[in-house]
Amino acid sequence: MAEVAQSPESFLPLTQAVFHILLALADGEKHGYAVMQEIEDATEGRVQMGPGTLYGSIKRMLAAGLIEESDDRPDPTLDDERRRYYRQTGLGRKVLREEAERMAELMALARRKHVWSGAGSRSILT
């Protein structure tokens, strides 16, 4: 499925769910619940993803080649082997970087227009 070769820019802007999933996988592979947990922790509970949103997004991201399934298990004895682990692909990393740059440019524009000072910010997504 990952054979679809598209430029990273063609995926932008990302949906909130896809952006958060890619971000959650930025520091290593995770299974679905760990991704969900990471997103809730990182956003202090402001983004709570349901199983349908999570796996619907995962399905589309796998088809687009942004993430892939991983066969590795951190510790098979401690984990249910039926859990699926996911990790970013090279394309996924590029897309995430492009999206972060796009957001940074928007923030810079907001700062120039005195809409946002950048101090005491909660989250760029809220």
Partner 1 sequence: MRQSYGLPAPIDLSIRLYTLLLAAYPGRFRAEYGHHMAQVFRDVCRRDYRRRGLAGMTLLWARTSLDLLRTALEEHIERGIEMNREKFIRWSGWALMAGAVLFAVGLIIGSFDSFDMDPIGGVDAFYEITQAVGLTLGQVLFVFGLLGLRTGYTGRSRSLGARLLLLAVISSIVSFGGLLAMSSIEAAWQIWAAGFLAMTLTLAVFGIVAVRRRVFSRWNFAPILAGVGVPLLFGVGTVGVGTVSGTAPEWASLVAVVLTAFGLSVVGYRMQAEASRTAVTT
Stretch 46-85: interaction string toward partner 1, x if CB under 8 A:
--xxxxxxxxx-xx---x----------------x-xxx-
Nearest approach in angstroms of CB 94 to partner 1 is 15
Whole-angstrom CA distances from 12 to 9, 58, 76, 84, 95 are 5, 17, 36, 27, 8
Asked if residue 90 binds partner 1 (CB under 8 A), the reply is no
Sheet holding 85-88, edge to edge: 30-31, 85-88, 67-70
Check binding of 4 to partner 1 (CB under 8 A).
yes
Least distance CB 51 / partner 1 (angstroms): 4
CB 63 within 8 A of CB 89: no
Residue 13 contacts residue 102 (beta carbons within 8 Å): yes
Which of 78, 119 has the CB closer to partner 1? 78
Binding region for partner 1 (CB under 8 A): 1, 3-7, 32-33, 36, 48-56, 58-59, 63, 80, 82-84
